[in-house]
């Protein structure tokens, strides 16, 4: 199960396509190499953890990699693991925040969000959209702390969102693609639907957000037609 979720969020990378000088060449290559490299790293880590049995209970499961490095390289390896873990988390958060800011900027460019969010600075960065994302993240962090939500709770809520996004993406692929790609998109749609059902009550948060967005869209459409 852990290996499956290692690739969750890879779609955030697509929002940064404009950052490439030659996106038609570099973007697919970077995406493919990134997926292969991530898969190799996660596979190697999983094999190592299973081989050295640095897991088994709640405490050891959350510290499996530090314990593994400690066994292999000694006590000093803990600092190395801490630095590597921080850099990995920082890189992931950077992609998420920058990608989400680009998505907001793109929607503002299309007129789906306030035009002020489409403004970019001299470096081409959508500053207002980026500021909105950072403030939203800070508010969510405060809300999580106030409600005393654990990391496990947040992961469960996020899982439903990811699966729902992939479900609609694959369904769109089934409609738009042709040939073998359409069959693969259809198969992926069925798998995502099955996974959403398997999440059970953990998917209710994502479904509730979807319903709220649909109601808001219908309200805005009705207002525009009135």
> Once rounded to an integer, what is the mean pLDDT over residues 179-190?
91
Tokens 């962090």 sit at which residue?
141
Which of the four pLDDT bands, split at 50, 70 and 90, describes residue 1? very low
Q: In whole angstroms, give the CA distance from residue 67 to residue 62.
A: 10
> Once rounded to an integer, what is the mean pLDDT over residues 24-43?
78
Tokens 């630095």 sit at which residue?
83
Residue 90: what pLDDT? 82
Kindly report, residue by residue over 84-123, the tens digit of the pLDDT. 777 877 877 888 888 888 888 888 888 878 888 888 888 8
Kindly report, residue by residue over 127-138, the tens digit of the pLDDT. 899 999 999 989
> Once rounded to an integer, what is the mean pLDDT over residues 167-181?
90
Which of the four pLDDT bands, split at 50, 70 and 90, describes residue 37? confident
Residue 183: what pLDDT? 92
Burial class (CB in 10 A: 0-12, 13-18, 19+), 164: buried
Q: How many CB atoms lie within 10 A of CB 214?
A: 10
Nearest to 8 by CA among 192, 184, 214: 192
Question: Is the per-residue pLDDT at 4 higher than 70?
Answer: no
Question: Where along the chain do its domains lie?
Answer: 1-52, 66-148, 150-219
Residue 85: what pLDDT? 76
Tokens 């970077």 sit at which residue?
30
Percent of the chain with pLDDT over 70: 89
Query: What mean pLDDT is reported for the chain?
Result: 81
Question: Is the per-residue pLDDT at 78 higher than 50?
Answer: yes
Beta strands in the chain (DSSP E): none
> Once rounded to an integer, what is the mean pLDDT over residues 63-67?
73
Q: How many CB atoms lie within 10 A of CB 221?
A: 10
Tokens of 88: 């990995």
Say which residue, 58 or 93, is predicted with more confidence. 93
Q: In whole angstroms, give the CA distance from residue 91 to residue 85.
A: 10
Q: In whole angstroms, give the CA distance from residue 127 to residue 68.
A: 42
Question: Is the per-residue pLDDT at 3 higher than 60?
Answer: no
């Amino acid at each position: 199960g852990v290996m499956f979720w290692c690739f969750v969020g890879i779609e955030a990378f697509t929002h940064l396509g404009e950052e490439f000088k030659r996106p038609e060449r570099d973007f697919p290559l970077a995406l493919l190499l990134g997926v292969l490299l991530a898969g190799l790293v996660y596979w190697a880590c999983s094999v190592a953890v299973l081989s050295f049995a640095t897991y088994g209970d709640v405490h050891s499961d959350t510290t499996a990699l530090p314990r593994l490095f400690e066994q292999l390289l000694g006590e000093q390896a803990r600092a190395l693991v801490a630095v590597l873990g921080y850099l990995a988390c920082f890189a992931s958060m950077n992609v998420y925040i920058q990608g989400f800011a680009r998505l907001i900027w793109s929607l503002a460019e299309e007129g789906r969000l306030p035009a002020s969010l489409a403004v970019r600075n001299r470096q081409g960065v959508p500053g207002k959209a980026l500021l909105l994302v950072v403030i939203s993240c800070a508010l969510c962090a405060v809300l999580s702390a106030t409600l005393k939500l654990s990391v496990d709770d947040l992961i469960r809520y996020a899982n439903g969102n990811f699966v729902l996004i992939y479900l609609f993406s694959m369904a769109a692929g089934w409609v738009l693609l042709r040939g073998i790609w359409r069959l693969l998109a259809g198969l992926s749609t069925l798998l995502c639907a099955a996974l959403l059902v398997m999440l059970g009550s953990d998917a209710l948060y994502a479904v509730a957000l979807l319903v709220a967005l649909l109601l808001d869209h219908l309200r805005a459409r009705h207002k525009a037609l009135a």
